[in-house]
Amino acid sequence: MTEPLRPMAQANRISNLLRIVLGDQRFPVQADQVALEYSRQCFPTSPVDKVDGQDLDGFEGMLAVNKARSKWLILYNSAVTSQGRQRFTIAHELGHYLLHRHQQDQFQCGHDDIETGERNKKDIETEADQFASTLLMPLDDFGKQIHGHPVGFDLLGHCADRYGVSLTAAALRWIEIADKRAILVASRDDHMLWAKSNEAAFKSGAFFATRKRTIELPRDALAHSDNGSTTTQSQLLQAKAWFPREPSHVELTEMTKVAGNYNYTLTMLLMPDAEWRQPQHDDEEPEEDTFDRFTNNGQFPDRK
């Protein structure tokens, strides 16, 4: 291969192989086995030689090559008890191996690098996450799971189980392919940890620049401690409670779920299509969004 494939193309290539070999039995994707087998077959002179769990102080995952550059090692943090999180981390490191190993000899990936919706810009951590997400939750199968079902954390929980990933990873995947405006917010102590808007929401100005400033949850938000409860909830409310620029008559559906393993709350915001076309946040427009890359790569799925 002369030209390195982009993250989603790399993942789709492996997905197709798994479908041919394993058929319906391919989920959850065994990321460790894939890393060992695929690298051994495609890159026999410098494969991933070992995938191992260790107590990595301060890291979630690591990819490193030996001195002779003849083999690579993937480590994941065994102190993280969530199997879904471990699977995603291994897939993320495999992404670095396939996409970036000619750039660096070692990758150390912290908690903030993996499985968050925080980034919109192109960097190697975003690419590794895109690879992992696509490999573990291929769009064609994901679409079949959600088609015809009401969206909610129950449905996303089903997807998380099927793919062996965290609820957060499944929810991030869902908003990518949602056909309405959708935003996922992770919060703790009434403040946003990160937020991710899909393309439709982003282009209408419905996003939060959580990397630029600390943002408090709206007082009306279910996840706000003033309304505190730890069970799954949903409510319909004026969109302007979250996004002041939305017209008064626009409502949004808000759903919350405590992501037990991580000690934070997930909030999903679902909104109708935007009614205007002019983005009002030109000054805050980040670089190309994850979602744009789907469409630019021609890989955005047909909606059925």
The answer to whether residues 125 and 4 touch, using CB atoms and an 8 Å cutoff, is: no
User: Which residue's CB is nearer to Zn ion, number 196 or number 203?
Assistant: 196
In degrees, to the nearest 5, what angle opens at C-alpha 73 toward C-alphas 69 and 75? 155
User: Which residue's CB is nearer to Zn ion, number 7 or number 205?
Assistant: 7
63 — phi, psi (to 5°)?
-130, 130
Interaction of residue 170 with Zn ion, rule CB under 5 A: no
Q: Which stretch binds Zn ion (CB under 5 A): 50-58, 98-106, 111-119, 189-197?
A: 111-119
Name 196's Cβ contacts closer than 8 Å, sequence gap at least 6: 116, 117, 118, 172, 175, 183, 184
User: Which residue's CB is nearer to Zn ion, number 128 or number 223?
Assistant: 128
How far is 27 from 189, CA to CA, in rounded Å? 35
Interaction of residue 90 with Zn ion, rule CB under 5 A: no
User: Which residue's CB is nearer to Zn ion, number 95 or number 205?
Assistant: 95
CA distances from 211 to 193, 207, 220, 284, 286 (A): 9, 12, 23, 11, 11
Name 225's Cβ contacts closer than 8 Å, sequence gap at least 6: 189, 190
The answer to whether residues 252 and 269 touch, using CB atoms and an 8 Å cutoff, is: yes
Interaction of residue 128 with Zn ion, rule CB under 5 A: yes
Where in 91-110 is the site for Zn ion (CB under 5 A)? 109
Count Cβ atoms below 10 Å from residue 221 Cβ, excluding itself. 24
Q: Enumerate helices (H) and strands (E) in the chain, giving the number of each.
A: 9, 9
User: Which residue's CB is nearer to Zn ion, number 83 or number 104?
Assistant: 104
Interaction of residue 159 with Zn ion, rule CB under 5 A: no
Cβ at position 89, least distance to Zn ion in Å = 9
Q: Which stretch binds Zn ion (CB under 5 A): 11-19, 117-125, 146-154, 257-265?
A: 117-125
Cβ at position 142, least distance to Zn ion in Å = 23
User: Which residue's CB is nearer to Zn ion, number 113 or number 176?
Assistant: 113
* CB closest to Zn ion, residue no: 109
Interaction of residue 127 with Zn ion, rule CB under 5 A: no
Give the binding site for Zn ion (CB under 5 A).
Answer: 109, 113, 125, 128
